[in-house]
Amino acid sequence: MADATTYVFDADGLILGRLASASADLLLKAAREDRDDKVIIINAEKAIISGRPRSVLDNYHKKYELNHARKGPFFPRMPDMILKRAVRGMLPYQKKSSGRRALRNLRVEIGCPNHLSGDLPEGHERGDDSKFRRDLPDRYIRLGDVSADLGAPAHRWTGGDQ
C-alpha cells in the first residue's frame, strides 16, 4: 500500500452537492487504487444548499417524514450525518467493497476539532476545493439551519444561542 494521505475540506460556504461529489470521487479513486486516503470534512453545519430556503426545507421535511419513525429507513437530522449521507449516496457502498472502504475513510465533523484548527498535523493536507468553490448563490440556506428546522439540537454548533 502507498502512503495514506488525509485530505481536510472546510465546508464553510461550499455547496453541499459539489463537496459531496468531490469527496466521493477522491475516496473512490483511492479505494480502487488500494490506497487508504481519508477525507475529513469540517464545519459541516456551514455548508450551503442552493435554492429557495422554503423549498429546500420542504424537501428535507419530506425526506425526514417519509417512513416510520421506529422501523426506518431513517434520515438523519444532524448536519454532519446529512452530509455523510449525501456522500454515501454517491458511493456504491452496497454493491462493491471499494465503496464500503471509501465510506469507512470518510469523517464529517460539526465545527472544527482543535487538532485541525491551526496548522495541520503530519500526513494531513488541505483538500483542493478550487474546482468546485463558487460565489454564494442568490438564494441558499445553510445546512445547520436545515438541521435546526428538522429538530436537531442546534446548541451543538451555535454554542448555546438557540
For residue range 55-113, list pLDDT tens digits in order.
999 999 998 888 777 887 888 999 999 999 999 999 998 999 899 999 999 999 999 88
pLDDT 10s digits, 113-146: 888 888 888 889 999 998 888 899 999 999 999 9
Q: pLDDT at position 103, please?
A: 94
Which class in CATH covers the domain with range 6-158?
Answer: alpha beta
**Residue 75 carries which side chain, given as an amino acid letter?**
F
Instruction: Identify which of 12, 2, 11 has the alpha carbon closest to the alpha carbon of residue 106.
Output: 11
Helices (H), the chain: 16-32, 53-64, 79-88, 97-104, 114-117, 143-150, 155-158
Is 0.85 surpassed by the pTM of this model?
yes
Rounded Cα gap, residues 162 and 154, in angstroms: 6
Of 158 and 45, more confident: 45
